[in-house]
Chain A
Amino acid sequence: MNTFLQQIVNGLSLGSIYALIALGYTMVYGVLRLINFAHGDVYMVGAYVGYYLSRKMAGREPSFVSAFIVMLGAMAACALLGLVIERLAYRPVRRASRLTLLITAIGVSLFLENGGQLVFGPDPKFFPSLAPHFDFLVADVRLTSEQTTVIGVSFLLMILLRLFIMKTRTGKAMRAVSFNLDAAKLMGISTDWIIAVTFALGSALAAAAGVLIGMQIPKIDPLMGIIYGLKAFVAAVLGGIGNVPGAVLGGLLIGISEVMVVGYLSSTYRDAIAFGILILVLLLRPQGILGRVQKEKV
């Protein structure tokens, strides 16, 4: 029973990383109907920005303040990266066919991966420890401070995002654009601005996930975004693509099931489980757990 609870905790901390990345996928899909393949690589860049920032702070004692600064810096840098990608690559092809948009996204993703290998070097780097380390023991379940931080910070960010989307004017405009882009435009919403905000927000969340994964699994490399990005996308589909709470739910479910497979079956299949789930979802409930069926219109 205790090992089971321990696995649940491990799964939650991995799952909240997936959830943070999945939010970016689902938000961009909501406004543009685009699978932003480059999103996983934005997460990778976030981890590297965090790595270089924390190297700059190397002299100091590990503290929560420096961890906070590193995370804010990485989020700001990636929000900017998201804006640049949207402006230079996606906006020119926004009106083109979906296939064109998809190939562009793959191109951007490849560019970030290979550019990352060129700039950061192809070898993995080891993230310095940012925050002080200690363990909690709750009913024989070990909770490391990293896990607590990961779970706590991601839930905080998700709540903030939820408040932003539900309570602010920009959030309302985002919901309108995701409901119907053309109608939103006719109502006087600056859709270009809203799409840019969506990219910036999603990329910032991915950067936060990148820094958090750096704290938890200290090894980062330029191709780490591929597999995390894919699993996060599966999480978004599982929860219902375009649906913000769905992305969180999907992320947690994927994280927990992955940890369970590794814990009770075999670690070789850890990457296969997410895609197995994806195929099941597509067969049984293609709109996802929380998604609604969209009527096809001509």
Chain B
Amino acid sequence: MKGFLLAVAVVAVLYAANAVFTGALGAGLAMSPYLLQVICLAGINIILAVSLNLINGFTGQFSIGHAGFMAIGAYTSAYVTVNFGDRVHSVLSFLPSAASDGALLLVALAAGALLAAIAGFFVGVPSLRLRGDYLAIVTLGFGEIIRVFILNIDAVGGARGFSGIPKIASFFWIYLFAALTIVVVYRIVHSSFGRTLIAIREDEIAAEAMGVDTTRSKVISFVVSSAMAGVGGGLFGHYLMYLHTNSFTFLKSIEIIIMIVIGGLGSITGSVLGAVLYITLTEGFREFAQYRMVLFSLMLVIIMIVRPQGILGHREFVSFLTRRRRLPAAPSAPLQS
């Protein structure tokens, strides 16, 4: 009941904030369109970073093809709205247009997430059976293959890009899904299944000896993470109204990795912090665009040498304030005898 009330409160707050920011409650309160767009893209980055952290930070497997799954979600959901949007609208014609837009978005995102999850399954099964860095290579290769395939599908615009997507994702939807992603990842990590994931991260052989089906757990974690990336991609397309495969290159995957590494692998609040920090820095240094990536890459190496666990490490931001609750990740002190 408490959770339900909290959820209603979050939805209400987001809805009100959306109304204020877009100027529905008077133009004086509205935010500049540039700032609103940056904030919305930051929300999408939060979805991507938190979902990638589930596989990279909590399960300890290294995926570097998150942009590929994002692309699948983006293109699938955009295809659904553009081609079946009218039908959904006519079925839901009794609803006000905002509500039927929302329903359409949900249908489209579900389709995108489903396809991204299926792709995640087929990528994950061969590579997660093996120990070591194979997932990194396979996901990287897969991200490029997906791009090549999309570039050759004429139904989604091919090299011209996919335009004419209705703008049905807004601040409200993006942050609703960001909150949902955080809740889902939090619940997974704090469940018994989450503990098996953390056990795999800490020591795969020991986890297997304790009876964890490591391949199965890794694949589930990867599939969930891919589906969330698909949702992030779907929101991305419906917010910017245009998709091109250039948005989903290897560099996009690396950006998401930089976010979670800055914030802390294995920390949800760290990922949120990293995503916000990253977009603030990139927008702030827009004038020095050519030096930006050089600096970021140098920062990545230096962070790895000086503080490999990222800013927050495995801990959550809240635990810094209260110092009471720690993640189950923290190893318990050995018993004194």
Chain A interface residues toward B at CB < 8 A: 33, 35, 89, 92-93, 96-100, 102-104, 106-111, 113-115, 117-118, 226-227, 230, 233-234, 237, 268-269, 271-272, 274-276, 278-279, 282-283, 286, 296, 298
CB distance from B145 to the nearest CB of A (A): 5
Q: Show 26 A/B contacts (Cβ-Cβ < 8 Å), sorted by A.
A: A93-B308, A96-B304, A97-B308, A98-B132, A99-B60, A103-B304, A103-B308, A106-B254, A106-B257, A106-B300, A110-B293, A111-B294, A111-B301, A118-B290, A233-B137, A234-B141, A237-B137, A271-B145, A271-B148, A272-B144, A275-B138, A279-B126, A282-B126, A282-B129, A282-B130, A296-B131
A85: nearest residue on chain B (CB-CB)?
Answer: B301
B64: nearest residue on chain A (CB-CB)?
Answer: A106
A35 — which chain B residues lie within 8 A by C-beta?
A: 133, 136-137
**Pick from B126, B206, B294: contact of A283, CB under 8 Å:** B126
CB distance from B267 to the nearest CB of A (A): 15
A269 — which chain B residues lie within 8 A by C-beta?
A: 148
- Knowing that A103-B304, A104-B304, A278-B137 are A-B contacts, what are 6 other residue pairs whose CB atoms are under 8 Å apart, sorted by A's residue number? A107-B297, A111-B297, A113-B293, A268-B151, A278-B141, A298-B205
At the interface, yes or no: B186 with Cβ under 8 Å from chain A?
Answer: no
At the interface, yes or no: B242 with Cβ under 8 Å from chain A?
Answer: no
B253-308 contacts to A, CB under 8 A, are: 254, 257, 261, 265, 290-291, 293-294, 296-298, 300-301, 304-305, 308
CB distance from A53 to the nearest CB of B (A): 24
Contact B137 A271 (CB under 8 A): no
Contact A111 B291 (CB under 8 A): no
Contact B308 A230 (CB under 8 A): no
**Pick from B60, B130, B254, B305: contact of A93, CB under 8 Å:** B305
Contact residues of A: prevailing secondary structure = helix
Contact B301 A89 (CB under 8 A): yes
Q: Report the separation of the CA atoms of residues A77 and B122 in the bound assembly, to the nearest whole angstrom.
A: 42
A278 — which chain B residues lie within 8 A by C-beta?
A: 137-138, 141
Given A98-B133, A104-B305; A110-B138 close (CB under 8 Å) = no
B145 — which chain A residues lie within 8 A by C-beta?
A: 271-272, 275-276
Q: Report the separation of the CA atoms of residues A121 and B305 in the bound assembly, to the nearest whole angstrom.
A: 29
A277: nearest residue on chain B (CB-CB)?
Answer: B141
B291 — which chain A residues lie within 8 A by C-beta?
A: 118
Q: Report the separation of the CA atoms of residues A113 and B136 in the bound assembly, to the nearest whole angstrom.
A: 19
Contact B300 A296 (CB under 8 A): no
Q: Report the separation of the CA atoms of residues A89 and B298 in the bound assembly, to the nearest whole angstrom.
A: 10
Q: Report the separation of the CA atoms of residues A230 and B142 in the bound assembly, to the nearest whole angstrom.
A: 11
B286-337 contacts to A, CB under 8 A, are: 290-291, 293-294, 296-298, 300-301, 304-305, 308
Contact B305 A268 (CB under 8 A): no
Q: Give the number of residue pairs across the A-B interface with Cβ within 8 Å.
A: 114
CB distance from B147 to the nearest CB of A (A): 9
B144: nearest residue on chain A (CB-CB)?
Answer: A271
Q: Report the separation of the CA atoms of residues A110 and B296 in the bound assembly, to the nearest whole angstrom.
A: 9
**Pick from B136, B140, B298: contact of A111, CB under 8 Å:** B298
Contact with A along B40-70 (1 / 0, CB 8 A): 0000000000000000100010101000000
Contact A102 B298 (CB under 8 A): no
> 10 nearest interchain CB pairs?
A275-B141, A107-B300, A110-B297, A107-B301, A111-B297, A114-B293, A100-B308, A104-B304, A114-B294, A92-B305
Contact B304 A93 (CB under 8 A): yes
Contact B141 A230 (CB under 8 A): yes
Contact B141 A99 (CB under 8 A): no
A284: nearest residue on chain B (CB-CB)?
Answer: B126
Contact A282 B134 (CB under 8 A): yes
Contact B257 A103 (CB under 8 A): yes
A275 — which chain B residues lie within 8 A by C-beta?
A: 138, 141-142, 144-145
B125: nearest residue on chain A (CB-CB)?
Answer: A283
A266: nearest residue on chain B (CB-CB)?
Answer: B152
**Pick from A102, A114, A276, A279: contact of B133, CB under 8 Å:** A102
Q: Report the separation of the CA atoms of residues A40 and B76 in the bound assembly, to the nearest whole angstrom.
A: 33
Q: Report the separation of the CA atoms of residues A176 and B69 in the bound assembly, to the nearest whole angstrom.
A: 41
Contact B265 A99 (CB under 8 A): yes
Contact with A along B246-257 (1 / 0, CB 8 A): 000010001001
Given A100-B308, A296-B205; A234-B297 close (CB under 8 Å) = no
B62 — which chain A residues lie within 8 A by C-beta?
A: 99, 102
Contact A103 B138 (CB under 8 A): no
Q: Report the separation of the CA atoms of residues A296 and B205 in the bound assembly, to the nearest whole angstrom.
A: 8
Q: Report the separation of the CA atoms of residues A89 and B206 in the bound assembly, to the nearest whole angstrom.
A: 30
Q: Report the separation of the CA atoms of residues A107 and B293 in the bound assembly, to the nearest whole angstrom.
A: 10
**Pick from B129, B133, B206, B304: contact of A107, CB under 8 Å:** B304
Given A102-B62, A103-B261, A106-B257; A234-B308 close (CB under 8 Å) = no
B64 — which chain A residues lie within 8 A by C-beta?
A: 106
CB distance from B265 to the nearest CB of A (A): 7
CB distance from B201 to the nearest CB of A (A): 9
At the interface, yes or no: B215 with Cβ under 8 Å from chain A?
Answer: no
B126 — which chain A residues lie within 8 A by C-beta?
A: 279, 282-283
A33 — which chain B residues lie within 8 A by C-beta?
A: 132
Q: Report the separation of the CA atoms of residues A63 and B23 in the bound assembly, to the nearest whole angstrom.
A: 71
Q: Report the separation of the CA atoms of residues A258 and B206 in the bound assembly, to the nearest whole angstrom.
A: 41
Contact B133 A268 (CB under 8 A): no
